[in-house]
Amino acid sequence: MKLHHVLLLIPALALASCGGSEKPSPAENGETPETPEIDLAVGAEYYAITCTPCHGATGMGDGVASEALVPKPRDLTNKEWQASVDDEYLRKIIQYGGAAVGKQPTMPPNPVLGSQPEVLASLIAHVRQMAK
């Protein structure tokens, strides 16, 4: 190993050794969590409970509360829209809400998902499979 490699390792080791329980979770420090386990049933259940009132059961934007929303949530089944956004965008708007991505705050944040990366990833997978 060359000397500059050793020098680069020192701060990395120091960080690793003092991380302990204070290390923020990947979702908290803004990184995409490493391959959280995806369970489509878990994603579908979270969606049904939390998202359906506004987005509708199938993502068409026709939930019971959608009438009152300006603008209305778009049709999440639209293939062109699906292709235009990456998973990182979906993660951000779902976890932090519309305002975090320059959209309306009527799209609420889901802070609880910050500590449940596998539920968040499963929910995103559920939204992805809505594409028609």
Alpha carbon separation from 128 to 22, 42, 57 (Å, rounded) = 33, 14, 14
Decide whether 9 or 39 has the Cβ nearer to ligand HEC: 39
Which chain residues interact with ligand HEC by CB under 6 A? 47, 50-51, 53-55, 65, 69, 71, 73-74, 85, 90, 93-94, 98, 103-104, 106-108, 110, 123, 127
Kindly state the smallest distance separating residue 5's Cβ from ligand HEC, in Å.
Answer: 43
Q: Name the residue among 106, 110, 105 with its Cα closest to residue 66.
A: 106
Residues in the chain: 132
Kindly state the smallest distance separating residue 70's Cβ from ligand HEC, in Å.
Answer: 8
Q: Name the residue among 113, 118, 124 with its Cα closest to residue 37.
A: 118
Kindly state the smallest distance separating residue 46's Cβ from ligand HEC, in Å.
Answer: 6
Decide whether 53 or 111 has the Cβ nearer to ligand HEC: 53
Decide whether 73 or 117 has the Cβ nearer to ligand HEC: 73
**CA–CA separation, 127 vs 132, rounded Å?**
11
Q: Judge residue 26's burial from the number of C-beta atoms within 10 Å of its C-beta, 0-12 exposed, 13-18 middle, 19 or more buried.
A: middle
Kindly state the smallest distance separating residue 99's Cβ from ligand HEC, in Å.
Answer: 9
Decide whether 26 or 72 has the Cβ nearer to ligand HEC: 72
**CA–CA separation, 98 vs 92, rounded Å?**
9
